[in-house]
Amino acid sequence: MLPGGSVWNLLDFIPDELQAAAQGRGGWTYAGSALASATQILSLGYHPDAKKLIGLDQQSQMWDVLAATTIGSASVFHAPSGPPWFHRGKLIFPCAFDPSSPQVPFYYDGTTSGSLSSAPDGYFGCVYKDHSVLSNNPHLGTNENRVWFSAAGDPTTWDTSFGWWDTTGAVVALATLPNSLLILHNDSTERLRGTTPPPGSDMVLEPFMPNVGCIDPFSLAYWQQNAIFASSSGIYLTNGVSSVDLTAAAQMKTYWQSLMSGYVTTWRIAAGIYRDHYIVSVNNGSTLVDCLCFSLQNRTAWRFSNLHGSTFANVQVGQLEKCYMGQWNAGRVAELSSLWSPSASVKQDGDGANPSPIIETGSFRGFDRLHRRWIESMGLQKWRYAYLDYDLRDAASDNPTISLSYATTPGGAYTSVVGGSIPETTDYGRARRSIHNATVGAATRSNMMEFKLAVNGPYSSAKLYTLEGTFDPIDIGRLK
């Protein structure tokens, strides 16, 4: 039995956010025009000085995404190995390892692009205490555990002889926190504290999360001076002092681990932040494995369809917040803010797919009278009617409906209610349907009842308020 207020499965509904218990999401839109010849977006970043969204495609071409124009020479750029970072006017991209030609990171400064020629050829990077940081140089199988620091305030100057620190294992990602640098390995996390990097350093390397590592550097995102990242065992939020297992808090830990049981190194697990939500997309090539959205305020989680995210960029300009998603299955960038603002103009995703809202409840129990009290009971009940309070608006002339069905055992097969689909409305409405597969008003005997609601067709608004059922108790000792 799930706790009150929980559901078993929530897809393309956003709960407790849009003046209803749950509302169907809006569609996402494309950011800018199509990027000619691009078939996949591998990395995405924002240059705040130039106010440009910068993306890299499968050909290692750099794009000004909103203008849909290329930047510089493709020969300068290489496949990115991790998300970019911004330091002293430069948006810096680390490069994937090429055994025949090790590559240093490259940058875009708002006008021109180039290589950080004096930097080590590290896989992953960030900025900490006004130093650019690079880690994991796998060239010739050495220095996979090493972290280098640039000169203060200058990402173009590096001391590769003395300006480094060795950690205890191969580095998978780096995360910047106000008073520490997190060193993420495959199966553990360390914390590097201090303000002055080597040489002559005051830093201290400490174990922090000894049994939790990072499965993909693109899963790393930041929220309110916290870092969030995905591991094979769960999704974790930390401020460098304490940590929270978001999958456990949202009762999604078993589900997440079942997803990760099929993990192979070709998967991309990418995440971004929007409106205090962590959106993580799991992709196996062009196939979407799943996409989860975590509310960071109340520690709940649900699922989104059709978000094939390979890389995310959160953009804050004044009071305006936007979240962009590079697509793993197409050479386009999506803009996700309309997910939270459903309307007739965004009834479908940019690629024409309809959002497919589904709610599967937990098992409801009936009540039996004990002296002067009613108590929840697993005894047999006669279930007669289901009532739905809702508001389903048409976007144009699509005539959306809601399908309602029920199951009498946990995870059992669903049976459609009698009375047909629930129609669209022009205002708040209430519908009644019979819980029986043959006769209206007849009862279905069961000691529990699950419901499934599915919204069919494009809509401009799909709000659900309450779902209720009527039942008559049977003798608690009856089995049939």
Full DSSP string of 313-359: EEEEETTEEEEEEEESSSS-EEE-GGGGS--GGGSS-TTSPPP--EE
The stretch 77-104 carries a mean pLDDT of: 84
Q: Count CB neighbours of 142 within 10 A.
A: 9
Residue in 103, 97, 169, 105 with CA at minimum distance from that of residue 133: 105
Residue 440 has pLDDT above 70, yes or no: no
pLDDT at 412: 85
Looking at residue 251, its pLDDT comes to 92
Here the CATH number for the domain that contains residue 422 is: 2.60.120
Residue among 297, 296, 326 nearest 313 (CA): 326
In a domain, 125, yes or no: no
Q: Which long-range CB contacts under 8 A does 82-85 form with residues at least 24 apart? A: 82/123, 82/124, 82/125, 82/173, 82/217, 82/218, 83/43, 83/45, 83/217, 83/218, 83/220, 83/311, 84/43, 84/45, 84/54, 85/45, 85/125, 85/126, 85/127, 85/132
Residues in contact with 371: Cβ distance below 8 Å, sequence separation at least 6, in sequence order = none
pLDDT given for residue 98 in this prediction: 65
Establish if 401 belongs to a structural domain.
Answer: yes
Q: How confident is the model at residue 344 (pLDDT cuts 50, 70, 90)?
A: very high
CA–CA dist 24, 346 (Å, integer): 12
pTM for the model stands at 0.94
- Total domains in the fold of the chain: 1
What's the pLDDT at 274?
A: 96
pLDDT value, residue 273: 97
Q: Is a pLDDT exceeding 80 seen at residue 476?
A: no
Amino acid at position 74, single letter? A
**Residue 112: inside a domain, yes or no?**
no
Domain of 458, in residue numbers: 358-473
CA–CA distance from 472 to each of 353, 375, 379, 382 (Å)?
Answer: 43, 14, 11, 5
Three-state SS at 432:
strand
pLDDT, greater one: 308 or 121? 308
By C-alpha distance, which of 84, 87, 96 is closest to 154? 87
Q: What separation in angstroms does the CA of 98 have from each of 41, 123, 310, 311?
A: 20, 11, 21, 21
Domain presence at residue 403: yes
Predicted local confidence at residue 438, as pLDDT: 67
Strand, coil or helix: 248: helix
Angle made by CA atoms 91, 228, 284, in degrees to the nearest 5: 80
Does residue 390 lie within any of the structural domains? yes
Q: What is the DSSP letter of 434?
A: E
Beta bridge partners of 308: none
**Which residues pair with residue 225 across a beta bridge?**
none
Q: Is residue 53 part of a domain?
A: no
Q: Calculate the alpha carbon distances from 130 to 101, 203, 338, 456 in Å.
A: 29, 15, 35, 52
Radius of gyration of the chain (CA): 26
Exposed/middle/buried for residue 217 (C-beta within 10 Å: 0-12, 13-18, 19+):
buried
Query: What is the predicted pLDDT for the residue at 18?
Result: 67
Residue 323 pLDDT > 80, yes or no? yes
pLDDT beyond 80 at 434: yes
User: Rounded to whole angstroms, how far apart are CA atoms 461 and 433?
Assistant: 22
- Return d(Cα 237, Cα 328) in angstroms, integer: 25
Query: If you average pLDDT over residues 43-48, what whole number do you get?
Result: 96
CB 31 within 8 A of CB 53: yes
Contact 73, 136 (CB under 8 A): no
Q: What is the torsion angle, in degrees rounded to the nearest 10, for the CA atoms of residue 47, residue 48, residue 52 and residue 57?
A: 30
Residue 59: its pLDDT value, please?
Answer: 87
| More confidently predicted of 98 and 469 | 469
Give residue 459's pLDDT band: very low, low, confident or very high (50, 70, 90): very high
Question: Does 421 reside within a domain?
Answer: yes
Q: Is residue 244 part of a domain?
A: no
How far is residue 323's CA from residue 337's CA, in Å, rounded to a whole number?
Answer: 6
